[in-house]
Amino acid sequence: MSAKIIDGKAFAAKIREQVAGHVAALKSEHQITPGLSVVLVGEDPASQVYVRSKGKQTTEVGMNSYEHKLDAATSEADLLALIDQLNADPAVHGILVQLPLPSHLNEDLVINSIAPEKDVDGFHISNVGLLGTDQKSMVPCTPLGCLMMLRDHHGSLSGLDAVVIGRSNIVGKPMVQLLLNDSCTVTVAHSRTKNLPDVVRRADIVVAAVGRAQMVPGDWIKPGATVMDVGINRIDKPEGGTRLVGDVDYESCAAVAGAITPVPGGVGPMTIACLLANTVTACCRTNGVAEPEGLTV
Ligand code: NDP
């Protein structure tokens, strides 16, 4: 195995430490405690785990965590009323509505009802537009985490060939935009892409955000390329039980790549760390305090 393993867990711990330092300074110098509200509708088990983990990490860095758990049958009007209330609450600097929402709720409508400056997931249409025009915005957490690790590994990304596999609004598209803003030559691949192996073989940077276990084999990877594996998939182990794997076949890709993120312990931990970073950034912006360097782009 030749690739450098990019340790997202250690990187995330470093980000959390920086966040905690900024939170302490906001408290002592400005008497402000950043607050993050997480709204969970229904009882999806994976969402419950994510929300618990977000709440725990939020309080660990010294911020206030507010959890709003609503019944699966909550009406759109009631959810929008709660978001209005959080938008108006000066103690709340970040609002996150855990996705997916139950099917009777319109996700776009709900996300776009969050005040853009409190939209720490970066999914509001205003933030999407700002990122698309390379202006200051709230940046979606998973692609932000990937970009931080890529910049840390490469220094400048200028002129590198990047292929993003996946075009979702939460990962693929914002990742494309961030790489483009950093002057990569970007190709975005998806389920209709022809000759995907050849497209991927051109890339200095491969970001896999597909949701298909171990789809990308090592012989698609250009020797020395950097592989960011966003996928989180659970597969059966031959001896029984299950384990988590990414969207790339780790063993064969690590044998060819220059650097690679493992699953678990790569992109995943960075996502929550970036959520905390976005909350501090949002808090500084709304309070007119100079925002910390290195926690966003
Ligand atoms: P989506 O299902 O929304 O998007 C998947 C994308 O992959 C689509 O654009 C789809 O193309 C494309 N795709 C599907 N099959 C193929 C194929 N055979 N060849 C090429 N492209 C294909 O997923 P998300 O973006 O939400 O998530 C992707 C993965 O990342 C999942 O495993 C998810 O669990 C994980 N994830 C991890 C996070 C983390 O913190 N680490 C955070 C968010 C997600 P098309 O548009 O044509 O359908």
Same domain? 147 vs 230: yes
Among the candidates 57, 81, 116, a domain finishes at 116
Ligand 1 center–CA 116 separation, angstroms: 25
Q: Is residue 250 part of a domain?
A: yes
What is the whole-number distance in angstroms between the Cα of residue 245 and the centre of ligand 1?
Answer: 14
The answer to whether residue 127 sits within a structural domain is no
**Annotated catalytic, 214?**
no
Structure confidence at residue 2 as a pLDDT band (50, 70, 90) = confident
Do 102 and 152 fall within a single domain? no
102 and 161 housed in the same domain: no
pLDDT at site 75: 98
Q: What's the mean pLDDT in 160-172?
A: 98
- If you measure from the C-alpha of residue 216 to the centroid of ligand 1, how many angstroms do you get, rounded to a whole number? 13
Residue 182, by phi and psi: left (phi above 0), alpha (psi -120 to 50) or beta? alpha
pLDDT at position 184 over 90: yes
| Structural domain containing residue 226 | 141-269
What DSSP designation does 214 have? T
Structure tokens at 105: 């709720």
Say whether 119 is catalytic. no
pLDDT digits (tens, 9 = 90+) for 218-265: 999 999 999 999 999 999 999 999 999 999 999 999 999 999 999 999
Flag whether pLDDT at 66 surpasses 80. yes
| Same domain flag for 94 and 61 | yes
Instruction: Please give the structure tokens belonging to residue 261.
Output: 């993120």
Residues 78 and 175 in one domain: no
Catalytic residue (one of 18, 98, 177, 214): 98
**For residue range 67-81, what is the model confidence (pLDDT) as tens digits?**
999 999 999 999 999
Q: Among residues 18, 54, 57, 119, which one is catalytic?
A: 54
- End-to-end CA, the chain: 32
- Give tens-digit pLDDT for 265-279: 999 999 999 999 999
Q: Would you say the pTM of this structure is higher than 0.85? A: yes
Domain-embedded: residue 2: no
What pLDDT is stored for residue 1 in this prediction?
61
Please report where in the chains the tokens 């990304």 appear, as a residue.
157
Across the range 191-201, mean pLDDT stands at 98
Q: Residue 18 falls within a domain, yes or no?
A: no
159 and 210 in a single domain? The answer is yes
Residue 192, in any domain of the structure: yes
- Given pLDDT bands bounded at 50, 70 and 90, which one contains residue 94? very high
The alpha-helical segments, DSSP class H, found in the chain are 8-30, 45-60, 76-88, 107-111, 125-132, 141-154, 172-181, 196-201, 250-254, 267-287
Between CA 251 and CA 255, with CA 253 as vertex, the angle to 5 degrees is: 70
Q: Please indicate, yes or no, if residue 129 is contained in any of the structural domains.
A: no
> Ligand 1 pocket test: which of 47, 169, 171, 274 has the largest number of ligand atoms within 8 Å of its C-beta?
171
Residue ID of nearest Cα to ligand 1 atom 4: 168
Average of per-residue pLDDT values in the chain: 97
pLDDT, mean of residues 15-35? 98
Catalytic (active site) residue 98: yes
Residue 11 lies in a domain: no
How many structural domains are present in the chain?
2
Q: How far is the CA of 288 from the centre of ligand 1 (A)?
A: 37
HSE (side-chain half, CA atoms, 13 Å) at 179: 28
Task: Give the binding-site residues of ligand 1, using a 6 Å CB cut-off.
Answer: 142, 165-168, 170-172, 189-193, 196, 209-212, 230-233, 267-268, 271
Query: Is 55 in the same domain as 169?
Result: no
What is the number of other CB atoms lying within 10 angstroms of the CB of residue 52? Answer: 13
| CATH number (domain holding residue 205) | 3.40.50.720
> Per the domain annotation, does 286 fall within a domain?
no
Using pLDDT thresholds of 50, 70 and 90, give the confidence band for residue 117: very high
The enclosing domain of 89 has a CATH number of 3.40.50.10860
